[in-house]
Amino acid sequence: MNVFRILGDLSHLLAMILLLGKIWRSKCCAGISGKSQILFALVFTTRYLDLLTNFISIYNTVMKVVFLLCAYITVYMIYGKFRKTFDSENDTFRLEFLLVPVIGLSFLENYSFTPLEILWTFSIYLESVAILPQLFMISKTGEAETITTHYLFFLGLYRALYLANWIRRYQTENFYDQIAVVSGVVQTIFYCDFFYLYVTKVLKGKKLSLPVPI
């Protein structure tokens, strides 16, 4: 554990709370990709199966349980409680374009060919691309609510802080997880354009808007 890991976890948790709070207060999930939220729920489910077999620390266990609960509550709100407000017409990213290559890569590139290890690897690869349906939805509609952009910012910040965490661990522990680092870099790259728009528009009080594809 180091300060970057803790700050990364807190940033991740804040992102999820912001999203849940937005849905609950507005009683509306318009502008939020249900497909991205399904992928994140799948990420946490396959990654945290070790809750049943290993105990690392109280902090680790609590954070895993909280992330799982937040993910599934979000999915329930989108597809259950507030499904009438869900913008399914714009949430059209084809999930098989992500799931098929991620599943294949998980079997081909992992540390150990065991069920739990393959599922953990799958979760790492999937998390690196799980935000794409949300970004695709924003590009399709051409805009995003301010609270949604805050959610995306803190989600991206979480990944950037985790990269700093891996660098720090390499410096202090000589530990390097190639799968996690490479996937984290890929995921952070997806956020780069968004970070620029967030700083130049949202932080200046402007609405984030993009040219709508013809």
Domain assignment of residue 214, yes or no: no
80 pLDDT higher than 80: yes
Residue 213 lies in a domain: no
Does the residue 52 lie in any domain? yes
d(CA 174, CA 72): 36
The residue-averaged pLDDT of 83-97 equals 93
Cβ contacts of 59-65, under 8 Å, gap ≥ 24: 59/1, 63/9, 63/13
**Residue position matching structure tokens 């266990």:** 61
Answer whether residue 144 is part of any domain.
yes
Cα angle 44-153-187, degrees, rounded to a multiple of 5: 55
Which pLDDT tens digit goes with each residue over 142-171? 777 777 888 988 998 998 899 999 999 889
Nearest to 199 by CA among 156, 164, 162: 156
φ and ψ of 109, to 5 deg: -130, 95
Go through 106-142 and write b for each residue having 16 or more CB atoms within 10 A of its CB, e for each that does not: beeebeeeeeeebbbbbbbbbbbbbbbbbbbbbebbe
For 72, phi then psi, to 5°, come to: -75, -30
User: Domain span at residue 186?
Assistant: 3-207
Number of domains in the chain: 1
Q: In this predicted structure, what is the pLDDT of residue 1? A: 78
DSSP state string for 1-67: --HHHHHHHHHHHHHHHHHHHHHHHHT--TT--HHHHHHHHHHHHHHGGGGGT----HHHHHHHHHH
pTM of the model: 0.89
Q: Give the confidence band of 208 by pLDDT, cuts at 50, 70, 90.
A: low
Quick one: pLDDT at residue 207?
66
More confident residue, 56 or 209: 56
26-50 tens-digit pLDDT: 999 988 999 999 999 999 999 999 9
